[in-house]
């Protein structure tokens, strides 16, 4: 899948082309619910943003003139393993999407003339990103559990270094 032998590590260039006719038919029905699903994720993201207020950890960046629908809600923290363990202890799953930067993928060895330390922002992001649960089917109780964890775990936690200006 995607040129992977190991999850998130590409040994060869690949593609995400798994939309067959059956999946297309299902998605055609699901498309009717897309706006509501996007609105629900945006609502959940606003609640997570509020729970992060007052902490050093910033919510995901929004771009002016663009609408974010929060396919993922990704924060950056320096001590990701500790934060992930604290969330796990509270029964909250988290994810680490894209833990290997493109320039470090075996599939691109020899194609990208960059070695370790040459893409510091990408490498730092790969060490710091943490995805929180965000999907339209989250229950009120689950959202409240994530909010409580954000408040108790992340207040006092140093923010990751996203290299972006916020404000």
Q: What is residue 165's predicted lDDT score, i.e. its pLDDT?
A: 40
Domain positions in the chain = 4-154
Segment 153-164 shows an average pLDDT of 68
As a whole number of Å, the end-to-end CA separation of the chain is 39
Q: What is residue 167's predicted lDDT score, i.e. its pLDDT?
A: 37
pTM (predicted TM-score)? 0.81
**pLDDT over 60 at 2, yes or no:** no
Q: Which CATH number fits domain 4-154: 3.90.1150.10, 3.30.450.20, 3.40.50.2000, 3.30.1180.20?
A: 3.90.1150.10
Q: What is residue 104's predicted lDDT score, i.e. its pLDDT?
A: 83
Note the pLDDT tens digit of each residue in 85-105: 999 999 999 999 888 888 888
51 Cβ neighbours under 8 A, 6+ residues apart? 146, 147, 148, 150, 151
Spacing of C-alpha 67 from chain mean position: 17
The pLDDT-based confidence of 166 (bands split at 50, 70, 90) is: very low
């Amino acid at each position: 899948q995607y040129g992977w032998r190991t999850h998130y590590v590409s040994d060869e260039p690949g593609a995400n082309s798994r939309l067959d006719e059956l999946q297309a038919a299902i998605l055609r029905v699901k498309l009717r619910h897309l706006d509501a699903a996007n609105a629900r994720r945006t609502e959940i993201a606003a609640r997570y943003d509020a729970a992060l207020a007052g902490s050093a950890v910033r919510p995901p960046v929004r771009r002016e003139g663009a609408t974010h629908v929060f396919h993922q809600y990704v924060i950056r923290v320096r001590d990701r393993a500790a934060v992930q363990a604290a969330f796990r202890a509270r029964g909250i799953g988290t994810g680490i999407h894209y833990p290997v930067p493109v320039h470090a993928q075996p599939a691109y060895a020899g194609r990208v003339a960059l070695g370790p330390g040459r893409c510091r922002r990408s490498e730092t992001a790969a060490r710091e990103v943490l995805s929180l649960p965000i999907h339209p089917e989250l229950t009120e109780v689950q959202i409240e559990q994530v909010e409580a964890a954000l408040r108790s775990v992340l207040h006092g936690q140093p923010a990751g270094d996203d290299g972006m200006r916020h404000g």
